Chain A
Amino acid sequence: MASLIACPHCGPRPKEEFTVRGDAGITRPAPDAGEDAWYAYVYLRDNPRGRHKEHWHHTSGCRRWLVVERDTMTHAIYTVTDASAEGETA
């Protein structure tokens, strides 16, 4: 896994300072979307090979939620942005 994350607020920091939440691409279903949609939202995840966007929390730094776009195969990091700046919610 990538070892340095360039936090937009704190600069480059080791991955040990962060907590990974998981896929940043999924959207919360409507409250009445039905059991299947909610089951998929809560439990089912893709396991992509290659570029992947995830939510990372800078737990031991600025305590902000970030969106990290990284490659699950090469461990390269492409972009790191504050989750609120992207308007990401989940």
Chain B
Amino acid sequence: MADFALLHRPALADAKSGSFGAPSTGARITLTALPEGHVMHVLASRGSGDLTALIPRIGDGASHAVRPYGPGQWFVIGDAPLAAAEIFAKTPLLEGKASISDQGHGRVRIGISGASVEAVLAKGTAVDLALSNFPVGHSAMTLIGHISALISRTGPESFELLVLRGFAESLWDELIQMSLEFGVDARTGK
């Protein structure tokens, strides 16, 4: 018997919310705490070949659902929460060539957008985020400051960051700091 009730609370529920920094209107940054839906970590089996065509089968069909970040490694992400049984039921779709690990409890998404979004993220990472080098749909696992995050481009001026749950609020605060010169609206959904 548990001594206290466990509550599911979004990682960014108590994070800073509101408008901060410069009062500019042209290049403002918008930070959004995205729904904690499903995050599936997919790892290819040894010698399973190119699985690029196979992985989207377990996704929800939305654009950017599948985010590759290294040889044989993907995150498959969506807004709808999935029960453990629903994730387990997807395993046969991969024909034994890859395994799925539910990371929905462990990683959360932050949306960041605005005309100056590349300049803000460039303060934290060395990855070249220019549209020509980092097109829409591209993903990269990297460090933002000292925090490991998966950066995915979802539009010409918008990115999503996937970060370990325990680091989410710290990264959120850092992103606000990094955006102050342009002005930032932080939306936790409260």
Q: Which residues of A contact B (CB under 8 A)?
A: 4, 9-14, 16-17, 58, 60-64, 82
Asked if residues B70 and A62 are in contact (CB atoms below 8 Å), the reply is yes
Q: Which residues of A contact B143 (CB under 8 A)?
A: 14, 16-17, 60
Quote the shortest CB–CB distance from A29 to chain B (angstroms): 25
CB-CB under 8 A for A62 and B126, given A10-B140, A13-B142: no
Quote the shortest CB–CB distance from B48 to chain A (angstroms): 14
Q: Which residues of A contact B148 (CB under 8 A)?
A: 60
Asked if residues A61 and B71 are in contact (CB atoms below 8 Å), the reply is no
Q: What is the chain A residue whose CB lies nearest that of B144? A: A60
Closest 5 CB pairs of A and B: A62-B70, A14-B126, A60-B143, A60-B148, A61-B141
B20 lies within 8 A of chain A by Cβ: no
Asked if residues B141 and A62 are in contact (CB atoms below 8 Å), the reply is yes
Asked if residues B142 and A60 are in contact (CB atoms below 8 Å), the reply is yes
* Whole-angstrom CA separation of A60 from B141 in the bound complex: 7
Quote the shortest CB–CB distance from B6 to chain A (angstroms): 31
Asked if residues B70 and A13 are in contact (CB atoms below 8 Å), the reply is no
* Whole-angstrom CA separation of A14 from B128 in the bound complex: 12
Asked if residues A61 and B142 are in contact (CB atoms below 8 Å), the reply is yes
Asked if residues B69 and A13 are in contact (CB atoms below 8 Å), the reply is no
Asked if residues A10 and B70 are in contact (CB atoms below 8 Å), the reply is yes
Asked if residues B71 and A9 are in contact (CB atoms below 8 Å), the reply is yes
Quote the shortest CB–CB distance from A68 to chain B (angstroms): 17
* Whole-angstrom CA separation of A53 from B111 in the bound complex: 40
B170 lies within 8 A of chain A by Cβ: no
CB-CB under 8 A for A11 and B142, given A61-B70, A82-B71: no
Quote the shortest CB–CB distance from B103 to chain A (angstroms): 14
Asked if residues B73 and A63 are in contact (CB atoms below 8 Å), the reply is yes
Asked if residues B127 and A13 are in contact (CB atoms below 8 Å), the reply is yes
Quote the shortest CB–CB distance from B33 to chain A (angstroms): 23
* Whole-angstrom CA separation of A61 from B69 in the bound complex: 8
Chain B CB within 10 A, most for which of A4, A10, A62, A82: A62
Q: Which residues of B contact A11 (CB under 8 A)?
A: 127-128
Q: Which residues of B contact A10 (CB under 8 A)?
A: 70, 127, 140-142
**In chain B between 145 and 186, which residues have their CB closer than 8 angstroms to a CB of chain A?**
148
Asked if residues A64 and B126 are in contact (CB atoms below 8 Å), the reply is no
Asked if residues B70 and A9 are in contact (CB atoms below 8 Å), the reply is yes
CB-CB under 8 A for A12 and B126, given A17-B143, A60-B143: yes
* Whole-angstrom CA separation of A14 from B71 in the bound complex: 20
Quote the shortest CB–CB distance from B74 to chain A (angstroms): 12
Q: What is the chain A residue whose CB lies nearest that of B134? A: A11
* Whole-angstrom CA separation of A4 from B126 in the bound complex: 9
